[in-house]
Amino acid sequence: MSTSALAANTRPWRSAIVYLLMLAGTVIGFLVVRHYGESLQTSIALPAIAGTKVGVAHRNEALLHVLLALVAVIVTGRLLGQVFRYLGQPPVIGEVIAGILLGPSLLGQIFPEFAGYLLPQSVAPTLGVIAQLGVILYMFVVGLELDPESLRERGHSTVAISHASIVVPFLLGSILALFLYPRLAEPHVPFTVFALFLGAAMSVTAFPVLARILTDRGISRTPLGVVALTCAATDDATAWCLLAFVVGVAQAKVQASFLVLVWTAAYIAAMFLVCRPLLRRWVNSLGDRPTTPGVMAAVFVGLLASALITEAIGIHAIFGAFALGAIFPHDSSLAKDLIRKLEDTVTVLLLPAFFAFTGMRTQIGLVSGMENWMWCGLIIAIATIGKFGGTLVAARVTGLNWREASSLGILMNTRGLMELIVLNIGLDLQIISPTVFAMMVIMAVVTTIATTPIFQHINRGATTEPLA
Amino acid sequence: MSTSALAANTRPWRSAIVYLLMLAGTVIGFLVVRHYGESLQTSIALPAIAGTKVGVAHRNEALLHVLLALVAVIVTGRLLGQVFRYLGQPPVIGEVIAGILLGPSLLGQIFPEFAGYLLPQSVAPTLGVIAQLGVILYMFVVGLELDPESLRERGHSTVAISHASIVVPFLLGSILALFLYPRLAEPHVPFTVFALFLGAAMSVTAFPVLARILTDRGISRTPLGVVALTCAATDDATAWCLLAFVVGVAQAKVQASFLVLVWTAAYIAAMFLVCRPLLRRWVNSLGDRPTTPGVMAAVFVGLLASALITEAIGIHAIFGAFALGAIFPHDSSLAKDLIRKLEDTVTVLLLPAFFAFTGMRTQIGLVSGMENWMWCGLIIAIATIGKFGGTLVAARVTGLNWREASSLGILMNTRGLMELIVLNIGLDLQIISPTVFAMMVIMAVVTTIATTPIFQHINRGATTEPLA
């Protein structure tokens, strides 16, 4: 092809005239057509479908609001993240709080109209799906970054610590239910359901937030970081099973809850015993070649399928994503390439949708009056004693020293967003009242913020060396 | 930290006993709590909110269906893509057709229940927003890959070709309206609106599909590829302005339509005269350092803001995304890093949502009977004559040779998905009937499939050399 012919425009006046003639011709031409067409009648008579114009407006507005919400929460989250970084906190807390501030808790109180425009309730389902897609991809990356060998080495102690850090807060949470139930429970909720739910909600460790705290502090690859992540992952899986059980009991489907446990066990076994060797063989066959779109498509299909299976079982889709990441050969060039391609886009662009979505559904204003704040304080105290204490004791028993055990305890006390997801489910099923919901949200934020300063206090003077 | 203390588990029997005691204690503990709690009464009486359980089910199911739809369209699209590649077609056509096949046109006809489960109408808005997010990111990457210098060199001839390739199909489309209006138009639609819409719909060139065709063929960086992309971009911007004008007229808001034109001009001027130098200075100040999450966040905020502005103006959000990509310093390491990070994830994971969404809304079955198929054939003929002919003549006039001019003509005849978006808007506003909609969809697919064989026929024996 001759580049010159395309690049050179030897007769500008000629094209200018052609251009003008063209425009004039268009207008005249259309007017002529219009003259003949105006008198035409249509021969068909279809009934007009009411409300479709609203449908268009809604669709376009959903996009507009999702874009607005993303911009608002990314900007606010980044700014608050800088403030929290300055205060020695992980920047991720800034994003969590940005989401809450942009919701009905602050912005909705001060500028209700602006908040209603920025994040109307109608975009919540859409924002929720984008948020969950973001969390699915994020959990896959977190799984990819896990070193499965180091997990296996200390698998036994990890499982014991993890279960202790579930059992103790679960029991304390159900005891707390004895006091909260007469005062704050919805009238139609049976005590058993309320107590089970409160126990499960107390047992949650925020895997994604914990992972970001560890990554932000650069200790996700230290032995302590790996144990904490593994415990948190096991905790979350267990807590979700527990939650599925609670949801089953709440809907009087106990058999279904047991089925969830059986299917989860079968899924985990299949992932580790069948998929893992097959995946390793496939990844080895690819070698160090650059990742093709076909390989990317295969990985994404596997990821979506794994997420779908866990979602269909009844434990959240994100466990399927995390499990696939965890069984991936983590030292392969494909895994490294996937991390490189996904990590920044997911954490910077998609995860804020999750923060915005969670913030939208949180109303801190419902906790008012001295007595309410006292109950809120008690919830925070019980949650911390249960999680921190349970982990500490189990870690000591399985052979960790005091500093390691207490570090792990405070790390596991991070509740963050996972707690908020659990709480939203409880609110949706009307197991907890909006007031208990708001109290538990405050508990989640407080335990998350408390993690870093206490962790630093425990580890003052100690150096944490990377694993590899 | 002592790695050994964490790794070694010196007393397995001890933790096993503790573990069993823990579990037994939990069950007994909870049963005790339950015994005391069962007799408690709640003191508050809040009204139960009806329908919230449905809300949960809906939210979870939306995620399930979105994941299912993505898996289905990625797998089908990849398989069909291989078939089409074998037939010498760009694989992207496979994905477009996969979307249509999974919708009501094929799957909905054969297995209506399965199709209703896979892609229920209730997930369409959510899938639509994810699709649009995917297209926004995709258009940004396409813009990033454009070489602005090469555009400026041949800007004049490009604008002339682009406008000719709008004007001719627009006029032919409005003449076609004279024949289609009495037979296939909705009874309440004025002729002017119908003719304007048909003209605008004929003038669309599928920028994203054209970009994928050029990328798939490896000619997106050749002079012809760059001119085709630039023309298609200008075409689309013009067609969207025209469409905004049509929508304005259809809703009797002519003044608003002119405002759209004024704002669009102001936006483009601001992007090139204000944002471009500022962006260049900022990117230069970053140098070759690796991209930090902070820089990524700034880019994404800019991208979302630019998309928001064009969406708010009334031309689609994707133009804002494309424009930001186009003014980005394309030889900077940041631009290359962004392409590396975004390209695969977006094209492999998010763009299929767009194909699925578009397919969901297409019902080929509505075109039935000899007369309908004849009208459908006429639409295809008029669309091709207008687009191919108009481009060919303008390209010849501005100095391109016959082969280049006809290559450009056939490339511009690619309608693809952009056409489908326009058609959906027409259907939503009840400007066109579902039957005309289906005919136009067939036209879009046929013109897109015709592009490659005719392009190859024109360029047989010719070698297209990359620009740089």
For B203-225, how does the pLDDT look when each residue is reduced to its tens digit (9 = 90+)?
888 776 777 777 777 777 777 78
- Residue B464, pLDDT > 60, answer no
Cross-chain Cβ contact A22/B167 below 8 Å: yes
CA distance B106 to chain A (A): 23
Q: How confident is the model at residue A388 (pLDDT cuts 50, 70, 90)?
A: very high
Q: What pLDDT, on a 0 to 100 scale, did the predictor assign at position B274?
A: 92
What is the ipTM, given to two decimal places?
0.78
A61-458 fold: Na+/H+ antiporter like fold (1.20.1530)
Which of A107-116, A402-411, B210-219, B353-362 ranks highest by mean pLDDT? A402-411
Residue A29 sits at the chain B interface (C-beta within 8 Å): yes
More confident residue, B320 or B18: B320
Most confident of the following: A124-133, B71-80, B228-237: B71-80
Please tell me which residue, B467 or A230, carries the higher pLDDT value.
Answer: A230
Residue A329 confidence (pLDDT) above 90? no
**With an 8 Å Cβ cutoff, is B62 touching chain A?**
yes
More confident residue, B324 or B151: B324
Residue A378's Cβ-side half-sphere holds a number of Cα atoms within 13 Å equal to: 15
DSSP A372-409: HHHHHHHHHHHHHIIIIIHHHHHHHHTT--HHHHHHHH
Query: Is the separation of the CB atoms in A157 and A226 below 8 Å?
Result: no
> Which of these, B328, B344, B322, lies nearest to B135 by C-alpha position?
B322
Q: Is the pLDDT of residue A152 over 90?
A: no
Maximum average pLDDT range among A1-5, A85-89, A462-466: A85-89
Q: Which has more pLDDT, B304 or A54?
A: B304
Interface test with B, best of A67, A149, A227 (most B CBs within 10 A): A67
**A185 and B44 in contact by Cβ < 8 A?**
yes
Cβ contact, residue pair B10, A399, below 8 Å = yes
Q: Which residues of chain B lie closer than 8 angstroms to A41, CB-CB?
A: 182
| Single-letter amino acid, residue B447 | T
Which chain A positions have a beta carbon within 8 Å of B426's beta carbon? none
| pLDDT classification of A6: cutoffs 50, 70, 90 | very low
Among A11, A23, A33, A221, the residue to mutate for chain B (most B Cβ within 10 A): A33
d(CA A86, CA A82): 6
CA A38 to mean position of chain CA atoms: 56
For chain A, the average pLDDT equals 79
**What tens digit of pLDDT does each residue of B21-60 get?**
777 788 788 888 888 887 777 665 444 443 333 334 444 6
pLDDT band of residue A51 (cuts 50, 70, 90) is: very low
DSSP A415: -
What is the structure's pLDDT at B250? 67
pLDDT tens for residues A185-208? 777 788 888 888 888 888 888 776
Using a CB-CB cut-off of 8 Å, the residues of chain B touching A462 are: 1
Pick among B14, B17, B18, B22 to test the A interface (most A CBs inside 10 A): B22
Q: Which residue of A has its CA nearest to B7?
A: A154
pLDDT tens, position by position, B183-192: 877 777 888 8
Distance between B391 CA and the closest CA of chain A, angstroms: 12
User: Within 10 A of B13 (CB to CB), how many other CB atoms are there?
Assistant: 7
Could you tell me the pLDDT band of residue A50, with boundaries at 50, 70 and 90?
Answer: very low
> Between these two residues, B230 and A155, which has the higher pLDDT value?
B230
Question: Rounded to an integer, what distance in angstroms lies between the CA atom of residue A250 and that of residue A262?
Answer: 19
Indicate yes or no: CB of B64 within 8 angstroms of CB of A164: no
Indicate whether B177 pLDDT > 70. Answer: yes
Show the tokens assigned to A336. Answer: 């490294």
B67 to A29: CB separation less than 8 angstroms, yes or no: no
The answer on pLDDT for A236 being more than 60 is: yes
3-state SS track over A127-164: HHHHHHHHHHHHHHHHHHHCCHHHHHHCHHHHHHHHHH
Class of domain B63-458: mainly alpha
Choose the most confident range, by mean pLDDT, from A122-131, A205-214, B255-264: A122-131
Using a cut of 0.95, tell me whether the model's pTM lies above it.
no
Q: Does A27 touch chain B (CB under 8 A)?
A: no
- Give the Cα separation of B339 and A50 in Å (integer): 44
A56-60, A320-324, B19-23, B348-352: segment of lowest average pLDDT: A56-60
* Cα–Cα distance for residue pair A37/B185, rounded to 1 Å: 12
Q: Is the pLDDT of residue A54 over 70?
A: no
Are A260 and A315 a contacting pair, CB within 8 Å?
yes
The encoded tokens of residue A2 equal: 């001759």
The listed range with the strongest mean pLDDT (A448-452, B5-9, B60-64, B151-155) is: A448-452
Is A40's CB within 8 Å of B181's CB? yes
b/e per residue, A327-338, with b = 16+ CB within 10 A?
bbbbebebbebb
**For range A124-133, the mean pLDDT:** 84
C-alpha closest to that of B421 among B411, B429, B413, B409: B429
In the prediction, which pLDDT does A255 show?
Answer: 67
Please list every residue in chain A whose beta carbon sits closer than 8 Å to the beta carbon of residue B187.
42, 44-46
A vs B, Cβ pairs < 8 A, gives 374
Q: Nearest by CB to A74, which of B44, B66, B300?
A: B300
Question: DSSP state, B388?
Answer: I
What does each C-alpha distance from A335 to A143, A145, A227, A291, A292 come to in angstroms? 10, 8, 21, 10, 13
Nearest CA in chain B to A433: B46
Residues of chain B with C-beta less than 8 angstroms from the C-beta of A347: 293
In chain B, where are the structural domains located?
Answer: 63-458
- Cβ count within 10 A of residue A9: 18
Q: CB of B468 within 8 Å of any CB in chain A?
A: no
- Pairwise CA distance, residues B157 & A10, whole Å: 10
Query: What string of DSSP letters covers A209-254?
Result: HHHHHHHHTT-TTSHHHHHHHHHHHHHHHHHHHHHHHHHHHHTT-H
Q: Of B242-251, B329-338, B412-421, where does the model show the most confidence?
A: B329-338
CA-based radius of gyration for chain A: 27
Asked if A182 has any chain B CB less than 8 Å from its own CB, the reply is yes
What is the reported pLDDT for B43?
63
Whether A417 and A212 have beta carbons less than 8 Å apart is answered as no
Which amino acid, residue A272? F
Q: Are A63 and B311 in contact (CB under 8 A)?
A: yes
Q: Kindly report, residue by residue over A282-305, the tens digit of the pLDDT.
A: 988 888 788 888 899 999 999 999
Facing residue for B18 by CB, picked from A8, A58, A160: A160
Q: Kindly list the distances between the CA atom of residue A66 and the CA atoms of A130, A354, B267, B420, in Å, as whole numbers in the listed order.
A: 9, 11, 22, 22
**Nearest CA to CA, how far is A257 from chain B (Å)?**
16
The answer to whether the CB atoms of B46 and A126 lie below 8 A apart is no
Q: Could you tell me what percent of chain A has a pLDDT over 90?
A: 9
Please tell me if residue B223 touches chain A, with a CB cutoff of 8 Å: yes
Q: Measured between CB atoms, which of B8, B46, B297 is closest to A399?
A: B8
**CA–CA gap between residue A309 and residue A306 (Å, rounded):** 5
Between CA A71 and CA B303 the distance in angstroms is 9
Q: Please check whether residue A372 touches B, CB under 8 A.
A: no
